[in-house]
Structures are given as C-alpha cells and as structure tokens.
A and B are shown apart, each in its own frame.
Chain A
Amino acid sequence: MFTKIGQTQEESVRVWFEGCEMTVGKGLSVAAALLGEGITHFRNTPVTAAERGPFCMMGVCFDCLLVIDGQANLQACMVEVSEGMCIERQCGAADPELDPALAATANRGETTP
C-alpha cells in the first residue's frame, strides 16, 4: 500500500478518477497522485487484458497509460495533475467486444520497420 509521508501538501487540486472526486497535491504527476490515493490499477493491456499499473515512473515503460481529459495513451507519470482533470482507466483492447482470450491470438500482423 502506498501512502504519503512528511508535511502535507501546501496546495491541492481536485481531480476525478473513474468518476470519483479526490483531492491531491498540486504539482504531482498523475501517477504519483493516484498511487498516493492507493490506486495501482491504471489500465488493462490490449493483448491479454491483464491489469497494470506504474512500473518505472520515469516515462520509459508506458505501463501507466491512462485516458486523461478524453485523450488516450497518456503516460500518467509524465503528466501533472491539474484542477478539474478527468482521469479514466485505459481499457486496452482495440475492440471492446473482442474477447481478451481471442485478442491474444488475434492478428499480430502489421508491417514493421
């Protein structure tokens, strides 16, 4: 479980995560803010729908992808929270109706460099 330590934040902002309002420290990354609220489930992967959360916190791994203010595929560790921000989990599959088991074996094909 993640918790916050030390002096409480001087300033805070209100954000919504999956429709729930929460008050978080100003200047924090979205990833840190959500972890501080005890949230570790950020997205489901597109291939097997596995649950993922932040891993590297430095913009390298792309495991903390979220939908922020309607924009998908944003790295939560690289975006700062702002007042009124609307944050949603990223449901990974390209087609929501696609069965995750099926998606695992579905067309892996695509051209490549």
Chain B
Amino acid sequence: MHTLPRNEPGERHAAGRVKKHADAVVIGAGLHGCSTALHLRLGGLSVLVLEKDYPGRHASGVNAGGVRRLGRALEEVAMSMVAADMWKHMADLVDDDCGFEASGQIKVAESEGEFDLQKKRVAMLQSRGFGHEKLIDKTILRERLPAVSPHCVGGILVEDDGHANPFRTVTAFRRRCETLGVEFHSGAAVTAARQRHGNWLIETAKGSFESAMVVNCAGAWGGRVAALLGEPPVPVDAQAPMLMITARMPAFIEPVVGAQGRTLSFKQFANGTVLVGGGHRGRAESGTNATSLNYQRLAINAQTALDIFPIMSQARVVRCWAGIEGVMPDQIPVIGPGSEPGVFHAFGFSAHGFQLGPVVGRILGELVAHGRGSLDIGPFAIGRFADKGDATQHGARSYGG
C-alpha cells in the first residue's frame, strides 16, 4: 500500500463556532458511501463522512448479501463485471474478504416457457460480448442443486457469483477508511447545504462542515439530499424489501438461487440457517426509520421457497425483517456529477446495489479526481428524470439482492 499524503480533516474556528473541513464530504455511511470515501482517500483527498444514523444501519447492513452479476440490467453489466473482479480481491482493498464466497448463483426456470426466456437472455448477452451467464439444463441443474424440485427444467448459472456478509462488508470498508484517516460522524443528519466561495457549507445535527466536493450516497434519502444540493426533484421511492431467516438446517445447498418467473433470493449459510427473500415489500417510513412486515406477502415468498425446495417444509422461520432501500422508477441507480459544481451522486440502487459497492466507490474516486471515469455511466445520469418528463418509461427490471 502506497503512503498517503498526510492530508486529514481539520478544524476552523470562526466566531466561536468550530467548523470541520476536508477536501471532500460524503453524505451517507452505507456501503457506497464508505467505498466512495475509501477511494477518495486513496486518491489523496482528506475525507469526512456524515451519517444520520450509524454506519450500515439501513439496507447496506441488512440486505440479502447477494454478490451477483446474474440478471443485471444491461446498463449495469460492464460495471458489475469490474465489481466481480474487485470482490475476488477484496482483502487487498479492505484487509478483509468480507465473508465473500464464490458459491455461484443460479436462476431457476420452472417451465419451458421460462427456460425459453432465459435462452433469449443468454443469447442477447453473448451478442454484446458478455459470456458470464451460462444456460444449464435439467441434469446440470440437479447436479448443482440436488434439493431442487423435480418440476424445475433448467436455469442460468454464473459460476463466480456468490454472497458476502453485508454488515461485515460495510464495517470492513469503514474501518479501512478510519485507518487511513477518514473521519466518520454518526447522528449527523444533514439539515442544510449552501455554496460559499467555491465551497459547500453543510449543516448537520452534529455541527457544520465545509468542503469543495460533496458526494451524495444517501440511499433511500438520496432524493432529499439531492434537493439540498440544488437538484430538481428526483423520484426516489423508499421501499422495504422483506427477508426471513430460518433456524439451522442440515446443509443442502451451496449456490445462491433465484427464480425466473417469481421473486426469490435463497441461500444457506455455512452455519445452516437459510435466508429467504427476493423483494416482497413491507412498509417503509423513511422519516422514522421504521419498517413493518406484510405477512400476506411473506407468505407468497415462503410458498415460492417451498415450491422450489420441498425440503423447506422442515424449516422454521426465526426472524423476518426489512431494510429501507432507495428505488428508482427505472430500477437503475443515479451515479455521476450533479448540476451544481463540486456535487456528485451515487444513490437509488433499487435493492441490488450491494455487489456494486466497491466499483461505485472507484468510479466516484475517478470522477472527483479527474472529472471522468473509465466506465460508461451515461445511463445513470441524474438528469434523466428531469429530461424526459415521464419517469417511468424505462419500465421495471429484474429485482433482487
């Protein structure tokens, strides 16, 4: 690791008030905020992170932990491929493998019709030069998933996808940041922001902060922060995808499994517990951080798991929960520069941002330092909603952690 300039956040005293300043302020200490802070710091900037609760409190710390390229929107695939490579070498970046296991990910087809859709998808990706999604027939499906129900006919496999531990991941990023001199301020909800002499002055519940650059990584609260940073309204919907976990069961499955025709995210941990999710939604109140569960919808999720893995008739659910996610109308995130100078955004990952965490930080690092990045982020521009009037025209996309 190269030595960084001794460039650390400082304090200014003016009229009796202490004001913290740094080259860059990151708003939000979820995975994207921590990763961005890390990359900015590695680029030699001094960095402050402002978090309204505590690091990893929301979706970043409590999501399903899926590390997948499988089924991503085309716009995200190139970025996701780079992220996959970063996950393999995660310890080089944050001194911790974050519990990443390349167990593979499989999306199961439950009918010939679904399998046909999968064939088209794989062919489409291949025509664009992406060969990571591979079609597998019934025989291979059963080899990989001995517990799968006999009615399943095939699927798509991505060999090196897998899963990681979300809270451990966001913690590893935070601690690496702290080691390098990034300062975190918890309980520092941003209440106002204004420009002065080419700097941003940011007011929070924990005092004032000043910097030339501001990066908005506020997740479900990204729209609110964007407005404070001078953006026209951005349609971020706070949603609460629900997850449930079972008591320990005998080991019966390695890969992470999704379904082509229904929402499902399914995996078993080394300790035997099984996580069932996939995006059925509870109720989210972003104002109070509260989420509530909808058992009728959890029931549908449970039925899907039971249909695809009959062994789940033995399972006992011990906990259910929901994390607050920022979902965009077109289900792809906002990444890129803002309208005002010195402002950058990365939020609204629409419940599938976990795998992208490392690469998004790298992209922001490049953007802030050089004004451009090595990957095409055109489709993620914040202006896309203002430009086109009809925010929903992109249509819904595949969904899952």
A residues contacting B by CB (< 8 A) are 46, 71-73, 92-96, 103, 106-113
Contacts and interface: CB of A to CB of B under 8 A. Distances in A.
Contact of B316 (A73, A96, A108): A73
Contacts of A96: 250
Contact of B271 (A73, A110, A111, A112): A110
Chain B interface, DSSP helix/strand/loop, else mixed = loop
Given A71-B314, A96-B250, A112-B62, A107 B321 contact: no
Q: How large is the interface on B (under 10, 10 to 19, 20 to 34, 35 or more residues)?
A: 20 to 34
B165 A94 contact: no
Contact of B250 (A71, A94, A111): A94
Given A46-B272, A72-B314, A94-B271, A111 B63 contact: yes
The listed residue with most A CB atoms (<10 A of its CB), out of B62, B245, B248, is: B248
A101 to B, nearest CB: 15
A95 B99 contact: no
The listed residue with most B CB atoms (<10 A of its CB), out of A95, A110, A113, is: A110
B309 interface: no
B251 A111 contact: no
Given A72-B314, A113-B321, A107 B271 contact: yes
A79 to B, nearest CB: 14
B164 to A, nearest CB: 8
A110 B165 contact: yes
Contacts of B275: 110-111
30 contacts: A46-B248, A46-B272, A71-B314, A72-B247, A72-B314, A92-B248, A93-B272, A94-B249, A94-B270, A95-B250, A95-B272, A96-B250, A103-B271, A106-B270, A108-B271, A109-B269, A109-B270, A110-B245, A110-B269, A110-B275, A111-B61, A111-B65, A111-B166, A111-B167, A111-B243, A111-B245, A111-B275, A112-B61, A112-B321, A113-B319
Contact of B251 (A95, A108, A112): A95
B167 A107 contact: no
